[in-house]
């Protein structure tokens, strides 16, 4: 009987320890989400032509925004700068689309949107809600491309750029650069975030 109680107590302690560990990891993931600004380019469709156009628009946006994040120190500043330049970025994207012989409309906006766990270079970002500069070409239903706009990992020409380790604490930096050692935890977080996102969407009032 005592052995069963001891085993139950040890099992409960293990469960509590795992939950505490995941709670800490989840908070670190949230801090990561609140420290970066993503660039998200969505193609009109998955046709070869539309995907090629997406890359042309991507290159034009990166060219036009290469110095936007000069001397920017945090995500809030990055969002303010990006918001101020939305009209010219959208005009540049529309110009590129027309140069490539298409008449698709394009819309660029700042949004808070859900992303799955994704890797960019040596950095892995956990699933969840992120602020992003989103470029929607035409219907925006095609395969997308993304990068990290702040810190300016995809803007190599930025002056005095912040690096990922400059905006995250050492523990958070270890998570995004840790690769395979956090793979299981990333999967758990992604599963949890997908359920949470579904619940939030379900609870939102209908427009009808």
Per-residue pLDDT of the chain (208 residues; tens, 9 = 90+): 565 665 555 555 554 444 444 556 778 889 999 999 999 999 999 999 999 999 999 999 999 998 899 889 999 999 999 999 999 999 999 999 999 999 999 999 999 998 988 888 888 898 889 999 999 999 999 999 999 999 998 886 666 667 888 899 998 998 888 877 777 777 777 776 666 667 667 776 655 4
Q: What pLDDT was estimated at residue 28?
A: 86
Per-residue b or e along 94-128, where b marks 16 or more CB atoms closer than 10 Å to that residue's CB: bebbeeeebebebebeeeeebbebeeeeebbbbbb
Q: Give the span between the Cα atoms of 97 and 198, in whole angstroms.
A: 34
Give the torsion sign (CA, 64, 126, 190, 193): negative
Tell me whether strands 118-120 and 144-150 are parallel, antiparallel or unpaired. Answer: unpaired
Q: Give the span between the Cα atoms of 114 and 128, in whole angstroms.
A: 5
Query: 10 Å Cβ neighbour count for 13?
Result: 10
Q: What pLDDT was estimated at residue 25?
A: 79
Q: What pLDDT was estimated at residue 162?
A: 77
Q: How much is the pTM? A: 0.78
Q: Give the span between the Cα atoms of 33 and 125, in whole angstroms.
A: 8
């Amino acid at each position: 009987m005592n052995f069963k109680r001891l085993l139950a107590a040890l099992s409960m302690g293990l469960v509590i320890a795992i939950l505490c560990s995941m709670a800490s990891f989840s908070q670190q993931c949230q801090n990561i989400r609140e420290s970066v600004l993503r660039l998200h380019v969505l193609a009109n469709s998955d046709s070869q032509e539309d995907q090629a156009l997406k890359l042309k628009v991507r290159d034009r946006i990166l060219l036009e925004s290469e110095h936007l994040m000069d001397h920017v120190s945090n995500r809030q500043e990055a969002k303010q700068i990006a918001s101020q330049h939305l009209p010219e970025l959208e005009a540049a994207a529309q110009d590129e689309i027309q140069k490539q012989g298409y008449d698709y409309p394009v819309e660029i906006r700042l949004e808070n949107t859900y992303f799955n766990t994704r890797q960019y270079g040596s950095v892995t970002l956990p699933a969840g809600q992120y602020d992003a500069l989103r470029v929607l070409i035409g219907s925006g239903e095609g395969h997308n491309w993304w990068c990290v706009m702040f810190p300016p990992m995809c803007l190599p020409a930025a002056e005095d750029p912040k690096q990922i380790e400059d905006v995250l604490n050492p523990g958070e930096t270890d998570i995004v650069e840790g690769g395979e050692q956090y793979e299981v935890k990333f999967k758990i977080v992604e599963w949890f975030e997908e359920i949470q996102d579904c619940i939030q969407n379900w609870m939102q009032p209908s427009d009808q």
